[in-house]
Chain A
Amino acid sequence: MRERIPLEKLLLEIVDDEFAEAPARSRQVSQDEIGEMVARKRAERKPRTGDDSES
């Protein structure tokens, strides 16, 4: 017969998993890191010119 997991225990495990993932999903970033993120986005937005050569 399968072991039955009490609902409360199950919910606590789910919540624990959520909290464990949260820092990875949304960690605090420094101003320098933000600067790098902004620079990357700015480079993406910059329209490419006909002079751009890429092999």
Chain B
Amino acid sequence: MNGALKPLRKYIQPKIGDNWETIAAREFPNDPQDKVIENLKSWNLFLAFRPTPMITPSDIMFIEAPAQQ
């Protein structure tokens, strides 16, 4: 991929049936899971607080913090 077109922020797209726990275990297997889930939610407020809690395979879930503004 052309360097200029690299994603601006690392993300994944969930698998069907995923939830915060399964994503945390898959993406950050060596880190404390409670803390990972807390981080994931804070980096993905839209997913954490939307009216429908279901996580779908077409969602974008960031796996790193937003860039400093």
Q: Are chains A and B native binding partners rather than an unrelated pairing? A: no
By a beta-carbon cutoff of 8 Å, the part of chain A in contact with chain B is none
